[in-house]
Amino acid sequence: MKRYALLILMVCINQISAQTNDNQEIDINAYVTSSAGSQLPVKVPINSETSGSFYLYKNWNNKGFVYLKDKRVLKLNAFNYNTYTDLFEAQISADSSFSFSKNSADSIAINNKIFKVRPNTGSSTYGYIEVLFNKKDLFFVKKYKSIVEKAKPNPMSGNFDFPDKITLEESYFIENNYGLVPVSLTKKSILKTFKDNEKEIKRFVEKNNLSYKKELDVVSMLKFLSQL
């Protein structure tokens, strides 16, 4: 299993390096002055005592690449993904960040995670998904979404003993000709999704001591299926 996980990571890194070499690298400051992004702060309906964060990473020390549709590439060192606004943001000063329009980027990489823009399930809008596996028209992707859990007052005192809490939800999908099909990291869901290869998957999982609940193990299963 470790061998499969290492191979998948190497493929992702090679994809990022190859795409960067093919594109013209540009400076973020030059792009900000001429782009259709936004430097306006997005108002988020939370109070100042809310625990948690809407951002995928706790800090901004993240390396990223924004591959633009015009074949240029932005290389960033202060980068993050806002799971509430569903936008990637680059920190351009101590008190200012720049969000990238979904219409401008072909793909985005951050800390070796690769994101693409796809139609949201059951909606006419578009959003970012993380590509976990992509081979032979078999796409396994993940969608991030942040939820604000409102605090409830203490029934005895009427006071709020705990603040509102932000939690990050992760949803998994298989992408096919019909769009994004939801799949959960459970044995039942995965075997149902790939029912034509159920026996092969079971044997592969047992042989390699894999778990249907682990993301990297499921990626290994899909790599195996793509080789059949």
Task: Indicate the domain borders of the chain.
Answer: 2-183
Q: How many residues does the chain have?
A: 228
Structure tokens at 227: 């080789």
CA dihedral (204, 209, 210, 211) positive or negative: positive
Whether the per-residue pLDDT at 75 is higher than 80: the answer is yes
Q: What is the C-alpha to C-alpha distance for residues 88 and 154, in angstroms, rounded to an integer? A: 37
More confident residue, 123 or 166: 166
Q: What is the C-alpha to C-alpha distance for residues 153 and 150, in angstroms, rounded to an integer? A: 10
Structure tokens at 101: 């329009």
Q: Of 79-88, 151-160, 171-180, give the lowest mean pLDDT range.
A: 151-160
pLDDT for 1: 52
Backbone dihedral angles phi then psi of residue 207, each to the nearest 5 degrees: -65, -40
pLDDT for 23: 65
pLDDT for 29: 73
Q: What is the mean pLDDT of residues 89-118?
A: 88
CA dihedral (189, 192, 193, 196) positive or negative: positive
More confident residue, 68 or 4: 68
pLDDT (tens digit per residue) in 18-68: 554 566 787 777 777 666 555 444 445 555 567 788 899 999 999 999 999
Closest by CA to 66, choosing from 89, 42, 85, is 89
Q: What is the mean pLDDT of residues 196-219?
A: 97
More confident residue, 75 or 124: 75
CB 90 within 8 A of CB 96: no
More confident residue, 160 or 85: 85
If pLDDT is split at 50, 70 and 90, which confidence band does 98 have? confident
Across the strands, what pairs with 64?
Answer: 76, 110
Q: What is the C-alpha to C-alpha distance for residues 127 and 86, in angstroms, rounded to an integer? A: 7
If pLDDT is split at 50, 70 and 90, which confidence band does 96 have? confident
More confident residue, 1 or 203: 203
Element (H, E) at 90: strand 87-93
Q: What is the mean pLDDT of residues 156-185?
A: 82
